[in-house]
Amino acid sequence: MKISDRILSMQASPIRKLVPFSDEAKKNGKKVYHLNIGQPDIKTPRLFFETVKNYDTDVLAYTHSQGLRSLIDSFVEYYNGWGLNFEERDILITNGGSEAILFALLATCDQNDEFLVPEPFYANYNSIGEMAGAIAVPIVTKADNGFALPDIAELQKLVTPKTRAILINNPSNPTGKVYDSSEITNIMQLALNNDLFIISDEVYREFVYDGLEVFSFGSIKEIEDRVILIDSISKRYSACGARIGCIASRNNMIIKQMLKLCQARLCVPTLEQVGASELFNMNKSDLEKIRTEYDYRRKIVYSALKEMKGVFCKMPQGAFYIMAKLPVENAENFAKWLLTDFEINGETVMIAPAEGFYVTEGRGKDEVRISYVLNAKDLEKAMAILDAGLRRYHALQ
């Protein structure tokens, strides 16, 4: 029997591909500090669990394919607080941000069409693009200048007759880049000049540091008909396992067409929608405390990396990730070695090799993405282990 070329060509997640090595390390008694995945250790608000627990019904039924009305209303009210004036008809509830991205690409791209995306980018963009039959075309950015976007003339060179959309994550996973007003303007102008959709992934909206401001494409009147906003409760409320995301767009036609995709998968799980609808009542001061905590963790990781011999990185401006160039030839081999052959007092770390965050051949081989979602004490210990691991690894080469 033949396995499809589509599935054979898909890359394994660089974030999760080393899980078997991690599982084996744990089986052998090692403690593994997970710096590889954006799973916050911030407690999920009790309100979510209490709401689900108190949900009383005789039949756990489907919700509407568009989503539970109370959850849609919660998103509408939340966006109003950011000056993004969406209505109920503009929003579709999805199974996490990942399904939202898939639906957006399916709705904007035909087979072998292209979408532009700043590189390095969230690795699953490539996999989701492959699922949709669309091709990710990288907008190359570099750590040397803080992963800034090239000027509009350079961006224009990437556009072909097959280009349909620009997918941008602001703040960025994995770089922590926050795009400034001039970069936002260039993307907007590129979309207008070439009749492109802008798929704007804004799941890290709250996590911006150093007094910077995050600009939402959803707030620009001139392009409201071409913006498809992607969102999720996963990181904002530390509720990754609830798998609740949404699509918001003022383009009524694209929403109407994407509703077909929602209908094809019936609905998002009812209980998760019930619980999520109450999360938006979380006090804004509590969200600010969480942002402050991530800022503190960011500084711990950056300071530690800057002291490690041969390591190069830039201070991230948002989200909770940092890209670092290591003094190794192959970061994936080093990451495996940390799990299989290295420990300090029975402890080691798991990092995400960065090659999978690129589609440009040869880029990212000596880089890793580190997620600073662990508590400060664990982060300090994990960074010390990483430093010792690098020194030991060099001694063995």
108-155 per-position pLDDT tens digit = 999 999 999 999 999 999 999 999 999 999 999 999 999 999 999 999
- What superfamily would CATH give domain 5-43+285-396? Aspartate Aminotransferase, domain 1 (3.90.1150.10)
d(CA 162, CA 158): 10
d(CA 73, CA 239): 19
d(CA 371, CA 34): 8
Q: What is the pLDDT of residues 68-78, one digit of tens each?
A: 999 999 999 99
Band of pLDDT at residue 13, cut at 50, 70 and 90:
confident
The answer to whether 51 touches 278, Cβ cutoff 8 Å, is yes
State residue 8's pLDDT score.
87
CB atoms within 10 A of CB 394: 12
Q: What is the pLDDT of residues 303-318, one digit of tens each?
A: 999 999 999 999 999 9
Domain boundaries, the chain: 5-43+285-396, 46-279
- Residue 245: closest CA among 378, 22, 72: 72
Query: Would strands 91-95 and 244-248 be described as parallel, antiparallel, or unpaired?
Result: antiparallel
State residue 62's pLDDT score.
97
**DSSP tag of 362:** T
Q: Which residue has the tokens 């201070």?
A: 315
The answer to whether 231 touches 75, Cβ cutoff 8 Å, is yes
State residue 5's pLDDT score.
85
Among the ranges given (9-18, 33-42, 281-290), the one the predictor scored with the smallest mean pLDDT: 9-18
Per-residue H/E/C for 96-147 = HHHHHHHHHHHHHCCCCCEEEEEECCCCHHHHHHHHHCCEEEEEECCHHHCC
Confirm whether 5-43+285-396 and 46-279 share one CATH topology. Answer: no
One-letter amino acid of 319: A
One-letter amino acid of 349: V
State residue 10's pLDDT score.
83
d(CA 290, CA 292): 5
What's the topology of domain 46-279? Aspartate Aminotransferase; domain 2 (3.40.640)
- Report, as an integer, the average pLDDT of 324-343: 97
* The two three-digit tokens of residue 36, written as one number: 């590889």
* The two three-digit tokens of residue 164, written as one number: 């349909």
